[in-house]
């Protein structure tokens, strides 16, 4: 009798786990599909419209995407979240949001690609990545669950157009401790966390 009871409990737990996994997968797929549409709209010249309620990515949906930070970088949410995480995971929310601002400002801007993943990967062909974490030769998997969850939430807000631009329209940034020669070509907009942000003179990216 005891064996039957144990077997029944195990079967019930297995069914619940399977149902939960299926629900997470469904939420993740919905988030990725919405993100694709939202980044296309963001890349469209002059498109500033907020997404409709049905287009908006929800918190459960975005958190279902890449739960352990090991997913391949092939969708907007993962590419943006991993960039925020690796560029500013130790800086708090303000610093992380500023990195998201730069990626979104670049999206569709003349001189930059029209998808988030392409923006993040830009320059790797020449060995001079725009975002250093992409070319540092180390694993791109997230290591801190809490910081990565925050990065995904910031990605959600950025794609939903719910994230204020802390950078003043910046398209570039560098760490405070360095002084690259290219910084003289641009207008410094703000310093946030460990980074200094810039926008191009005359609005033209180089």
**pLDDT at site 126:** 59
Does residue 87 belong to any structural domain of this protein? yes
From the first residue on, what is the mean pLDDT of each consecutive set of 10 residues in the chain (206 residues)? 52 54 90 94 75 92 94 94 94 96 92 92 71 78 93 97 96 92 93 95 66
**pLDDT at site 22:** 86
Does residue 17 belong to any structural domain of this protein? no
The answer to whether 17 and 85 are in contact (CB under 8 A) is no
**pLDDT at site 185:** 92
Does residue 39 belong to any structural domain of this protein? yes
- Nearest Cα residue to 87 out of 198, 195, 197, 205: 195
**pLDDT at site 127:** 59
**pLDDT at site 7:** 47
Does residue 4 belong to any structural domain of this protein? no
Does residue 16 belong to any structural domain of this protein? no
Distance from chain centroid for Cα 11 = 38
**pLDDT at site 45:** 61
**pLDDT at site 9:** 45
User: What's the count of helices (H) and strands (E) in the chain, helices before strands?
Assistant: 6, 3
Does residue 8 belong to any structural domain of this protein? no
Residues of the domain holding 189: 28-203
- Nearest Cα residue to 167 out of 113, 86, 106: 106
Does residue 62 belong to any structural domain of this protein? yes
Number of domains forming the structure of the chain: 1
Does residue 3 belong to any structural domain of this protein? no
């Amino acid at each position: 009798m005891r064996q039957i009871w144990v077997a029944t409990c195990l079967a019930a737990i297995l069914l619940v786990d399977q149902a939960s996994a299926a629900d997470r997968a469904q939420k993740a797929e919905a988030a990725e599909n919405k993100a694709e549409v939202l980044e296309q709209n963001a890349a469209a010249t002059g498109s500033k419209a907020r997404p409709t309620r049905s287009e908006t990515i929800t918190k459960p949906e975005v958190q279902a995407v890449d739960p352990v930070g090991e997913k391949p970088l092939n969708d907007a949410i993962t590419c943006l979240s991993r960039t925020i995480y690796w560029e500013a995971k130790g800086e708090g929310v303000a610093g992380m949001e500023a990195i998201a601002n730069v990626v979104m400002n670049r999206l569709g801007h003349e001189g930059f690609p029209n998808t988030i993943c392409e923006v993040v990967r830009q320059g790797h062909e020449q060995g001079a990545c725009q975002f250093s974490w992409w070319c540092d030769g180390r694993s791109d998997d997230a290591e801190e669950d809490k910081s990565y969850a925050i990065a995904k939430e910031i990605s959600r807000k950025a794609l939903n157009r719910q994230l204020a631009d802390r950078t003043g329209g910046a398209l570039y940034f560098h760490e405070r401790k360095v002084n690259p020669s290219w910084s003289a070509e641009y207008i410094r907009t703000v310093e946030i966390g460990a980074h200094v942000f810039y926008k191009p003179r005359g609005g033209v990216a180089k």
